[in-house]
Amino acid sequence: MKSKLQSHTKLFQEYYQISSNIFDRLPRTRVDLDYFVFDESVSRMQHKMRKGDFVPREIHGELEECCKLGTLFVSRKDRCVYMQYISHQLDLVLMDDNLLEKEITDIFISAFNQRLESFFEQPLRSNLDLLREDIAVLVEYLLEDPVHIKALVRRISYEHTLVTHSISVMILGLLLYMRRRNHVCTRQDLQELAEGLLLHDLGMTKIPGFVLGKQGPLQHMEMESVRQHPLIGLQMLKKLGVDSHLTLHCVLDHHERLNGTGYPRSLYGDQIGQPARIAAVADSFAAMTSKRHHSDAKRVDDSAHNLARDLARYDEKISKSLLCFLLTGQ
Ligand SMILES: [Fe+2]
Ligand SMILES: [Fe+2]
């Protein structure tokens, strides 16, 4: 009995069970994954359909039945195709009980990479709506269990592109916000904050590539044009009909600093609200820890320590909360 159970466990590590909710959304007439059916009498996975096979109606009914019985599987070797599929319809993530936490976080990150790239290329209302749908799924996932944010932080990328940087800032900022609120957050606040964090550098998409890609220090005029990006981002979002104060505040004020040395408005102390203070810490930490044209990546712990010591510019409670999380995982 024990060995049968062990062999089942091994099998289930190699295959994903397809939930009925997911099955309903997979292609009906032609499969793009190999399907397996678990045959309990011989404790084996039997190959049922191969990639590219057409599915006659009666076979589709049979597969549907297997799915209800919990005996329809795909191989984990096909995880990329399966996850890619889910990442295009991100709400599936919340319906699949068979995915591991780290697989779910990979799907979220892959989905945001695709969506954000499309939005940065074409900042249209239709692309913003798709991005918002994915954010809504992420928010549901975080409300389901606030611990999920920790798994996302563990998967952030330290590679520096506008897209990866923006995703890192969103994840870190959400972590910091949830910690500040003792994990008591409203759906709407998380949604609007996530949108502001993810799009905080939207204005950068309008800065010429030769300025952003320049090796070495920028000329005064080039620096001035880069410093316009919070205002440009704000205007772009307003044109798209975004009116959330929380979202717009993140975008406009993420480079403001407590001692008044920030930009574009040179705000001082209490003039800077909580969301922008969170965005500032998340943004600076994400920038320091990734390799950019003009500087090497700094160590994660050194960067967090530096921010926590910089009391003149960063909110102490927020930067120390980040440091505490990174040192203790709590
Ligand atoms: Fe920025
Ligand atoms: Fe940034």
What CATH code is carried by the domain that includes residue 176? Answer: 1.10.3210.10
Do 247 and 119 fall into the same domain? yes
Percentage above 70 pLDDT, the chain: 96
Query: Could you tell me the residue range of the domain that residue 67 belongs to?
Result: 2-79
Do 68 and 134 fall into the same domain? no
Report the C-alpha gap between 47 and 85 in whole angstroms: 21
Where does a domain end: 46, 79, 112?
Answer: 79
317 vs 24 pLDDT, higher one: 317
Ligand 2 centre and the CA of 227: distance in Å?
11
Do 174 and 68 fall into the same domain? no
Do 191 and 248 fall into the same domain? yes
Q: Are 107 and 90 in contact (CB under 8 A)?
A: yes
* 255 within some domain: yes
* 88 within some domain: no
Report the C-alpha gap between 142 and 151 in whole angstroms: 11
Where does a domain end: 29, 48, 79?
Answer: 79
* 92 within some domain: no
Q: Tell me the ligand closest to 233's alpha carbon.
A: 1
Ligand 1 centre and the CA of 40: distance in Å?
56
Q: Give the sign of the dihedral formed by CA 303, CA 255, CA 200, CA 205.
A: negative
Ligand 2 centre and the CA of 4: distance in Å?
53
Ligand 1 centre and the CA of 76: distance in Å?
39
Ligand 2 centre and the CA of 181: distance in Å?
23
224 vs 307 pLDDT, higher one: 307
Q: Calculate mean pLDDT across residues 65-79.
A: 89
Ligand 1 centre and the CA of 324: distance in Å?
25
Could you give the number of structural domains in the chain?
2
* 286 within some domain: yes
Do 258 and 139 fall into the same domain? yes
Say what the pLDDT of residue 7 is: 55
Ligand 1 centre and the CA of 253: distance in Å?
9
Do 227 and 120 fall into the same domain? yes
Do 166 and 23 fall into the same domain? no
Do 131 and 242 fall into the same domain? yes
- Residues 6 or more apart in contact with residue 114 via CB below 8 angstroms: 87, 88
Ligand 1 centre and the CA of 200: distance in Å?
6
Name the pairing type of β-strands 72-75 and 15-17. Answer: antiparallel
Strand ranges for the chain from DSSP E: 15-17, 35-39, 44-49, 72-75
Quote the pTM value: 0.86
* 93 within some domain: no
Ligand 1 centre and the CA of 287: distance in Å?
10
Say what the pLDDT of residue 76 is: 85
Do 11 and 160 fall into the same domain? no
How far CA 46 is from CA of 8, 15, 49, 52, 316, in Å, comes to 14, 12, 9, 17, 58
* 132 within some domain: yes
Report the C-alpha gap between 156 and 108 in whole angstroms: 11
Q: Are 262 and 236 in contact (CB under 8 A)?
A: no
Per-residue confidence band for 160, with pLDDT thresholds at 50, 70 and 90: confident
* 307 within some domain: yes
Where does a domain end: 45, 79, 113?
Answer: 79
Ligand 2 centre and the CA of 201: distance in Å?
5
Ligand 2 centre and the CA of 283: distance in Å?
5
How far CA 25 is from CA of 159, 206, 241, in Å, comes to 33, 37, 32
* 19 within some domain: yes
Say what the pLDDT of residue 9 is: 66
Report the C-alpha gap between 68 and 71 in whole angstroms: 8
Ligand 1 centre and the CA of 255: distance in Å?
6
Do 273 and 230 fall into the same domain? yes
Q: Tell me the ligand closest to 172's alpha carbon.
A: 2
Do 171 and 319 fall into the same domain? yes
Q: In angstroms, how far is CA 201 from the centroid of its own chain?
A: 15
Do 152 and 204 fall into the same domain? yes
